[in-house]
């Protein structure tokens, strides 16, 4: 593979473009990462310089190259029941949730849902802990900027190794085994799958069109890529979409230094709207 150099001027072009398009803030330290991760792509496309790749990226109106670029420089890593302390807290919160939802209607947003493990986990959790689960009207909006991870998420099919480590009762209740080619996979059962609406959505540049509030918002391990301005603006928007008392879940390495008068930290990166 040809090793293609990335000049500071070229890096500056990518930095500006990615910030404007996605809100991801690339520091100078990311030069090596961009060069290392994108070199293969340039070779694949038969391009000889990062300047040529930049033109290719900007001219691609389908957005596929942007998805490729974002996936190359960020991570889509996720798993079922990630951030275990948050699920423990949620268990305690269930009686309060039931008491506040006389209409038995629950609306949740999984923002930056990657390949779907997060929204499906929310449903598996509710199926286990919400009495009369079938009688509830539950809808989860699950969004991500990457069409690649979303196309996996909508299949609802996962490799045995990521499912078989879950408690047996959850595996039985929430999945069915399916054959995909030569492989046995686990497919999320239709009863859960039909409650999730997957959509491509850019948290930084797409308009906040939501008419109704959410009973919970999960935005975990997503804001690490954003700068303070974008992070603060997004958190303000989340706060505006949560009724009083409703939780906002961030990733365990994320914390808010702002919004102290609207969001109260409960621990484990869980905040409640004041």
Ligand X SMILES: C[S@@+](CC[C@H](N)C(=O)[O-])C[C@H]1O[C@@H](n2cnc3c(N)ncnc32)[C@H](O)[C@@H]1O
72 contacts 26 by C-beta, under 8 angstroms: no
- The pairing of strands 216-219 and 105-111 is parallel
Nearer to ligand X by Cβ, of 76 and 128: the residue is: 76
Residues facing residue 271 across a β-bridge: 248, 265
By the rule CB under 6 A, 144 interacts with ligand X: yes
The terminus-to-terminus CA distance of the chain in angstroms comes to 55
- Residues 150 to 189 in contact with ligand X, rule: CB under 6 A: none
Give the C-alpha separation, 77 to 62, whole Å.
24
The least CB distance from residue 151 to ligand X, in Å, is: 12
Residue 93's SS3 state is: helix
By the rule CB under 6 A, 220 interacts with ligand X: yes
By the rule CB under 6 A, 119 interacts with ligand X: no
How many residues does the structure list for the chain? 274
Number of residues lying near ligand X (CB under 6 A)? 24
Among 25, 43, 49, 74, binds ligand X (CB under 6 A): 74
Sheet containing strand 216-219, strands side by side: 196-200, 137-144, 105-111, 216-219, 247-250, 270-273, 263-267
By the rule CB under 6 A, 75 interacts with ligand X: yes
The least CB distance from residue 2 to ligand X, in Å, is: 28
Nearer to ligand X by Cβ, of 68 and 175: the residue is: 68
**Cα–Cα nearest to 218, from 97, 92, 81:** 81
Site string for ligand X, 223-262 (x = CB under 6 A): --x-------------------------x-----------
* DSSP label of 274: -
**Cα–Cα nearest to 200, from 107, 77, 70, 113:** 113
Stretches 3-11, 98-106, 185-193, 199-207: which one binds ligand X (CB under 6 A)? 199-207
Which residues form the interface with ligand X (CB under 6 A)?
22-23, 74-78, 82, 112-114, 118, 144-146, 149, 202-204, 220-222, 225, 251
């Amino acid at each position: 593979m040809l090793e293609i150099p990335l000049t500071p001027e070229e890096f500056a072009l990518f930095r500006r473009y990615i910030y404007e398009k996605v809100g991801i803030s690339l520091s100078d330290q990311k030069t090596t990462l961009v060069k290392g991760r994108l070199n293969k792509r340039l070779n694949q496309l038969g391009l000889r310089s990062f300047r040529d790749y930049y033109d290719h990226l900007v001219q691609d109106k389908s957005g596929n190259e942007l998805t490729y670029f974002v996936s190359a420089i960020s991570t889509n890593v996720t798993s079922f029941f990630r951030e275990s302390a948050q699920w423990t807290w949620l268990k305690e919160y269930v009686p309060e949730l039931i008491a506040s939802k006389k209409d038995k209607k629950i609306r949740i947003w999984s923002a930056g849902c990657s390949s779907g493990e997060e929204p499906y986990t929310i449903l598996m959790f509710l199926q286990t802990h919400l009495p009369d689960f079938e009688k509830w009207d539950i809808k989860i909006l699950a969004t991500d900027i990457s069409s690649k991870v979303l196309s996996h998420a909508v299949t609802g099919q996962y490799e045995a190794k990521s499912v078989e480590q879950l408690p047996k009762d959850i595996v039985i209740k929430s999945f069915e085994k399916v054959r995909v080619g030569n492989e046995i996979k686990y497919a999320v059962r239709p009863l859960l799958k039909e409650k999730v609406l997957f959509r491509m959505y850019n948290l930084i540049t797409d308009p906040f069109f939501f008419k109704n509030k959410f009973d919970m918002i999960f935005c975990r391990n997503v804001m690490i890529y954003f700068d303070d301005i974008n992070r603060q603006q997004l958190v303000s928007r989340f706060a505006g979409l949560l009724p009083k008392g409703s939780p906002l879940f961030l990733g365990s390495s994320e914390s808010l230094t702002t919004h102290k008068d609207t969001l109260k930290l409960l621990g484990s990166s869980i905040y409640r709207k004041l």
